[in-house]
A and B are shown apart, each in its own frame.
Chain A
């Protein structure tokens, strides 16, 4: 896993770590470096969060820096706005994707536009961590992919890591940002391991840079978050069919890296957007439109989308039919008008 430019040289102390650990380390380092950073949310203190991402932080930094709040998402984000007005940098945890909805009014009406409505006087350096997505067998209301709601709100950054190293680097960048960042954490990647160094973690380029995870020549898979491993697996499987697929991990959905995406599509001439949230009016629709507008003369086929169905998130026993998997990605690759090539 590299950065946008060159893969960082491996430090000697690398050992297997989970994404949850890397996220925790990011908050820990941010808390240690900047006394204005505050972590707050439901169960983030004593318990360490229901996913244990904040485990140990309250013990290390005390309950005033890592705070168990009352159970009220609008209140959590609304008070974070006031804290940011006073100069603090709140890092808010929403317990689950679907439980962030009560905070939507604060997010849309204040967090996203406070800087703008005050002509820069009141920036909102708030990070809103949201565990999101399915594939963990979660019962109703525990598996939503809500990125499109956030993306349709000017003033927010929307970021989602797919690797352990990015989890650290992107979260540090999000906390350091003077703008509000919705930080979407793919639940089903929390426990995925990779070699990583907590002592010398890789930094990432500024928010808004995509990365080519796998170079290829036949077609580009444009994806992010929990669908990145799916696409990498599909790219491996596609080799047997004679396709050499490039995989672009967006990392940041807003700002959107038109440059990296379009450079890749111009090289390969074909593109598929893959995500697990609903397709209709989804991220893929925007990306397909952008790619078509910018790369039309390089395209050998229409930009396709592989997305979740336009249904409420299904029961766990049916979710594998809903989530875009390797086969569905490969079926889409096959539809990319290869005749005559």
Chain B
């Protein structure tokens, strides 16, 4: 499985020139900020959309993330990769957007609800079809976004950074301010819950498809069962 980076924490080498660009912008070439944005806009939008589900919210958060990054660019110390720093801002901005939408869900960000049902999958439903083959890109996206939306936000963030953004465990830990062990524990539960929810949704989608594709009642079928 390819990962975005295997660079250990604290080694800003392999930043693909981000740090040089940041230095140039700080030195006065403000216009070059757009170059920096162009490098990271896809990753930021992807993160925001997967956490928030709504494309409108994701767009707002993407803009907000870059505006904040611009405002606080002089606080970027280069200890972490620029992309990790940006991810950190994006996750925080997404959290704030989520809190605004659903304050009731946010009693605590760090404590996943205690009644978590996802440690052990209840049933092993074999997928009748491979979603990657049976569904269009848009349908896959919808399935995944809906399944993600059912996870507790703290699980969602971990799985979004690790499996959707494909950051390393270390980078995920750094962006979320967690320990690596903590990330691994949450990741296990998050992945199993996501699998569970996706299985349920694939099941429902297959049933809906049956419902749609079943022959409409014709006079010939109008015999008593």
Physical interaction between A and B: no
